[in-house]
Amino acid sequence: MPPEMLAWLCEFCYIDLPCALVRRLARGPFPLREACDAFLQTPPCEELSAFAQQALRALRETRLLVLHYVNRNAGTGFVGYSFLAPDESVTLALRGSESGPCAPSLVDWADNFAAPFAGSVQYQDIYRLVNRYPAGPLTITGHSKGGHNALYALAVAQNPQARAVAFNGQGFRRDQLDRAQKARLRAQAINYVTRSDIVGALLYHPETREFCAARLDENAHALSAFLFQPDGYPVPAGRTCASRAIEAASRIALHGLRSLQSSATING
């Protein structure tokens, strides 16, 4: 599955499945086009962006099935979908941070800051979802926080065939993953990062990163900023100096905050 289609699935993942389709899913997998048609006809929350409409129209032409759906938005903030392809391969799409009228809380944003220190409150949900599929071809994808979660999912996946494709996913604390997990991410994960994106520059990145061109009229962090070639792969581009500086500064800041945290623990 080319990265452009995975980006569309990431965009789809930002939309909650309506109750009627949740009940439909309880009876078994159903065609993704049914959800796309439902979203296009009656958006569950706010008006769909032009990019979301483009993604839904593209996805409705696929033969993917909606296989599983997890929505813990009112608790940990974790939301994820599983999709089944005709070749029996599975794709997981994990939602990134939300804001606006559709988000029930700011737990995603609070977790973004807390995760490098104490681990994410979503990690248990991620572990449970990814390990529903211990064998067979498995791709894990996500944007922003969802991209970070996709990388973490690969690190803890029992499935040896699993791979991760992230979009502007943030990194990890340097000692957050063990040596084997870092090696796995280097070999089986790619993080597409627009050349001036801040989030994809943050912290430590054991995975392979490819820096990409972005639309000048879009927020560099948004999925809609990516430019794709006819083969469905992002247009490559050189990384900006600002991106490199942000990465270095974030590592220094995290080290300093961790030192303060350790001192406070000892003195307390």
What pLDDT is attached to residue 104? Answer: 67
For 184, the domain range is 3-267
Checking if the pLDDT of 98 tops 70, the result is yes
Cβ-Cβ contacts under 8 Å for 68 (sequence gap 6 or more): 25, 81, 82, 129, 132
Cβ-count burial 133-160 (b if 16+ within 10 Å, e if not):
beeebbbbbbbbbbbbbbbbbbbebebe
* pLDDT surpassing 80 at residue 259: no
Mean pLDDT of 18-46: 94
Question: Between vectors from CA 51 to CA 47 and to CA 55, what angle results, nearest 5°?
Answer: 105
Determine the average pLDDT of the residues in 116-136: 94
Q: What is the pLDDT of residue 258?
A: 62
Q: Shortest CA distance to 146 belongs to which of 173, 161, 160, 165?
A: 165
pLDDT of residue 118 exceeding 90, the answer is: no
Q: Among 49-58, 123-132, 250-259, where is mean pLDDT lowest? A: 250-259
Q: What does the pLDDT read at residue 266? A: 47
Q: What is the pLDDT of residue 114?
A: 77
Question: Residue 163 belongs to what H/E stretch?
Answer: strand 162-167
Selection from 86, 64, 77 nearest residue 12 by Cα: 64
Q: Is the pLDDT of residue 100 over 50?
A: yes
Mean pLDDT score across all residues of the chain: 92
Of the ranges 91-95, 114-118, 259-263, the best mean pLDDT one = 91-95
| CATH code of the domain covering residue 62 | 3.40.50
- pLDDT of 145 reads 96
Highest mean pLDDT among 55-59, 94-98, 103-107: 55-59
User: What tens digit of pLDDT does each residue of 182-237 get?
Assistant: 999 999 999 999 999 999 999 999 999 999 999 999 999 999 999 999 999 999 99
* Percent of the chain clearing pLDDT 70 (strictly above): 94
Q: What's the whole-model pTM score?
A: 0.93
The total number of structural domains that make up the chain: 1
Predicted pLDDT of residue 65: 99
Residue 243, SS3 per DSSP: helix
pLDDT at 156 over 60: yes
Q: Is 74 exposed, middle or buried (0-12, 13-18, 19+ CB in 10 A)?
A: exposed
